[in-house]
Chains A and B, each alone.
Chain A
Amino acid sequence: MHGRLKVRTTAEQQELKRQERTQKLNKFQAGFNRASQKRLNKEYDKESLLITGQLLAANPDVSTLWNYRREIIQHLLDVKPKEEAQLLCSEEQEFLEACLRVNPKSYGVWHHRSWLLNKMPTPDWKTELQLCNKFLEYDERNFHCWDYRRFVVKQSGVSAEEELEFTSDKISSNFSNYSSWYYRSKLLPVVHPSPDGSGRAAEDVLLKEFQLVQNAFFTDPNDQSAWFYHRWLLGKGEQKLEVDCLYVSLDPPKIIVRLTKPVKVGSNGVALSVSVQGKQLSNVHWQNSASSSLYGSLWECSLQDHLVHGSDCQDIAVELNSSEHTQLVTCALGADQSEAKAVSSSSFCCSEMTAAKTETLTNELESCKQLEELEPNNKWALLTIVLLMRAIDPLRYQDDTSRYIEKLQDVDSVRRNYYRDLESKYKIENLLERRLHYENCVELNGIALTALYYMEYLATVSEIDFSSNKLSSLGQCCHLRCVKCLVLDDNVIVSCDGLQGLPLLEDLSLRNNSIFLYEGKNVLALF
């Protein structure tokens, strides 16, 4: 079904082909019918092996035939003495290898081989590993073979170190290494686990990987796999679950809790308990800002009847209880205050980097810029420069980042929408890095925003201006739980979906957009 060229042939050639195929077809049908008959009669003999073998060698995707063949082999293994059984299995191995030479990507063949190896009285895993080596020589990207190799490695106890060595060999001797780099990403954390128990690889090892991957893309700047791997090296680990912000307001009386990642609050999820003046509240009903999902990072509950106007300082405490983390956050609502916040002190973008890491990344940036001089239109170098600048110091490099992203839209125009959204994400990250989302008023106008990221972080802002951008969708606005005034003029908004249910919205401006008439009528219905 894949890769068959349509070739023009003469009528004579067509007729010859038709005859050839009719012959093949008849032969196949006769064979299949005979095999089916024998199977019905529960015949598990040499003839059965012969027929199924002939059929499968040419048609390895007919899984029913593999099923029958397994029944035959299982039967023979049950009745034969051990040496004969082992011999039968080695013959089957040879048969399978012949099949693989013709069809190295057949699910059926590889699966049958793993089935066989599990049945063999004395499996020789070294031979199996060598088979994998051979087939990976033919095609380093054959994922069937890699999967089989991992099966062999698991069954025979080959160490992760040895496999890591194997990937190093592959990478140094080959092009087209995506599969090897990928395997490496799985092996590194096993061979060199990070002492913090995060499941990532140890930092000093990751830093050495930069050297390895740099060699790869300097040898071949268009070797995609090295660039993908590099991006992974730059990435952060799994986000830890923590309370990022606790917000309390008096009018209306409510709490908003922002977590570092989406969770389900309630039964089968995490627990969020509230105490006011040291007394735990019962029957707290938590609502997710993303109402269409059970999961969210922004949760809200009402404190009706629990907060008092004109009181002295009121202490509010929220406790997060999950299998991975327990945390208590407190906040004090002063006597003349209408709202209060307790916020995490961590930087938004940058986790603290060790000196070694900063040095490595700075050198990386230098190297990539050298590469850019040699190949000014290499999009991989340009993108990696952006990623490195963001990793090292987003605010310091913000103008350079914008320049590079603009260039990328030109050089790699097929993906211009991706780069535009990426730029939007960075602009909002910069705002958060400056902690401007803790102000009452946020302005992000005239900066060509195409997407709204991190709207959960603007949950406590009361005045927001996103005018003169390129926004088309407002789905993410559902997280703007405190917005009173929202300006969205001069965008390309097509639908007001996302604005319904914003509890404090009083002023909304949507001049100069692309809202359909039908939607326009519904805007009024939203309120």
Chain B
Amino acid sequence: GEAMSIQTYNGAAIIAMSGQECVAIASDLRFGVQNQTLACDHKKVYRMHDRLYMGLSGLATDAQTLYKRFVFKHNLYRLREERDMRPQTFASMVSATLYEKRFGPYFVEPVIAGLDPEEGHAPFIAGMDSLGAMETAKDFMCAGTNSESLLGVCETFYRPGLGPEELFEVISQCMLSGVDRDALAGWGAVVYVISKDQCIARTLKGRMD
């Protein structure tokens, strides 16, 4: 193989979008090591609790480890506070955790999507770089090996105030066409649509290349 770039070693595509009293978060399913694809069922979106999901793009091993660390912290929070974490609190925690490793970082870019229980389940979307620099957005957040592509399709297809079903359609189209130009992401996708009372997960069939 060629020279390894740690950010593109595994490959990923993640999109989060906000709608009317709902959010959606999607990731591709490819797991590969540089050019070689090893699996097409490797989700990059993780459930923290019923109304909070996190996507982790970048180096797969760091994503796995970070997810386990966040489960650790959230479990303790839930035992002590007797409630689930609010999305913004969780995002701050993720940011702090990443910054702790400022001079030897985790090679991941998180995307967080959830509903805020204290603001009438208002949608919450945030993303950050591998050092924890956080940005929240009202519309969508993208991360991955070809995030510019993803941003392009999202910018084109997104509109505010979409209901859960429409949001699912929009985010799915964005994901499937966004990964077409990315050799390291794709091979199917998974989409979670989170509303106040339920979360529906759907797997998309895409081009398997």
Do A and B assemble together? no
- A contacts, CB < 8 Å to B: none
Chain B contacts to A: CB under 8 angstroms: none
